[in-house]
Structure 1
């Protein structure tokens, strides 16, 4: 028996919201690329500037940072209320400046704190869209935002991991997803480390990179949870909305 083919979206109001989400996604990486241009070099060449032991250890360090960030971000929700986007950018910018002062060594020490702040910002955006960050499903969705195409990748809207069909995750789901996200995120974080460890610029580069990365992931989180809210509020199949959104991002 053939699977039912769902009709395309035709409601002008829904299509208008998808256009807004697509525009937000296309603009998300612009600030990051401006920062990289300011520092000099290219996104592709940044990882090559890191020492070999650091590059080789990025996957493991990223997985540990994500695991710790999930616990720390969740605990902090009971102590500190969600902050507006500008405040999250301010805090991570300050962290980047502190990390950039001492070059690569201090940047590595700053990395877990920045990952926690980014995850906490994503959780706050999930809550803003009416989703419970304490639930297992939403915790997974927050991690999927990290699995999206990184801010230094020219994906042209097509390599959108967070928009891909939902994968079945068995066993300890959170741990499984962290293991899947870490290798991809490690590339992004490696580029961040190399950029903010640029000689001479130091703290300025660290602050600028963290500001840009925070802006990027906040925007991607708004696209991600905006799509899910649109599906929930309109009763439209999320997969159909996802396909429409990918088509609009790619234009």
Structure 2
């Protein structure tokens, strides 16, 4: 079975350039509201993890890796029973999950980690499906995990544009076990920032809702970029690597 369900006709050079500009705009917008949220918390991204208890910080990578494996195992089964909602509905569901976790403080956010990871995975897969990809394909599952290799909404966007674009190139060819082990530490740090943000006592459930809304939108946008490049590679006479380099040039040019 083809990974993409409905290939489009070949595009012209001008159409490819226009799509790359749209993807660049999407990537720049991924962290749009995150900085305003950080200002409300009264600190920067580098201080968020320090707010977590040391035992929590020390176990973020292993807990995230376990949550990723659980999400991967359950995603195929959930597709049989759960419809894939729109991108906006996904963000609202994510906000509701964050509000529930944030309202109970740090214990609630820790218990929410596996649920949030599974939800974000499905949100990324939904974007792949909207791009026309078969989400039951093993290759598409690999790409879904690779989207989690992005640096997160609170990172410096000037640096992460390049980092994210090169993620697929550096991970290509690895097995699923190695891929998850490689992605989990970075994702653990990113989700640790989210846990710390939504555990702020003054904001409580509001912080949890805002954090999840921001994170869901971030990974949806990054998935649009990731799978958008893959889709372009199937409908034009260029390699995926070449398209990523072109997109990198568009982002650098501003």
Tell me which of 227, 245, 248 is aligned to 1:246.
248
CA distance in 1 between counterparts of 2:172 and 2:198 reads: 37
Unaligned stretches of 5+ residues in structure 2? 1-11
Contact 1:123–1:142 (8 Å) recurs in 2: yes
Question: 2:169 — aligned with what?
Answer: 165
CA distance in 1 between counterparts of 2:224 and 2:83 reads: 18
The residue correspondences of 1:64-79 to structure 2 (distance < 5 A) are: 64-79=66-81
Tell me which of 92, 112, 132 is aligned to 1:90.
92
| Corresponding residue pairs, total | 240
CA RMSD between the two structures: 1.4
Say which SS state the counterpart of residue 33 (structure 2) adopts.
helix
Question: 2:19 — aligned with what?
Answer: 17
Tell me which of 120, 124, 145 is aligned to 2:147.
145
Deviation at 1:166, TM superposition (A): 4.9
CA distance in 1 between counterparts of 2:108 and 2:200 reads: 13
Question: 2:138 — aligned with what?
Answer: 136
Question: 1:59 — aligned with what?
Answer: 61
Q: Give a deviation string over 1:47-74, Cα, whole Å, max 9, x none.
A: 1111100000001000001111112222
Moved more, 175-184 or 160-169: 160-169
Question: 2:224 — aligned with what?
Answer: 222
Tell me which of 189, 192, 202 is aligned to 2:204.
202
Q: Give a deviation string over 1:15-63, Cα, whole Å, max 9, x none.
A: 1111110111011101122212222211111011111000000010000
Deviation at 1:218, TM superposition (A): 0.5
- Given the two structures, how large is their TM-score scaled by the length of structure 1? 0.91
- Given the two structures, how large is their TM-score scaled by the length of structure 2? 0.90
Deviation at 1:162, TM superposition (A): 5.5
Q: Give a deviation string over 1:55-111, Cα, whole Å, max 9, x none.
A: 000010000011111122221111112110111111111110000011110000111
CA distance in 2 between counterparts of 1:31 and 1:96 reads: 16
Given the alignment of the two structures, is residue 176 of structure 1 paired with residue 178 of structure 2, yes or no?
A: yes
Unaligned stretches of 5+ residues in structure 1? 1-9
Question: 2:128 — aligned with what?
Answer: 126
Q: Which runs of 4+ in 1 moved over 6 A?
A: none
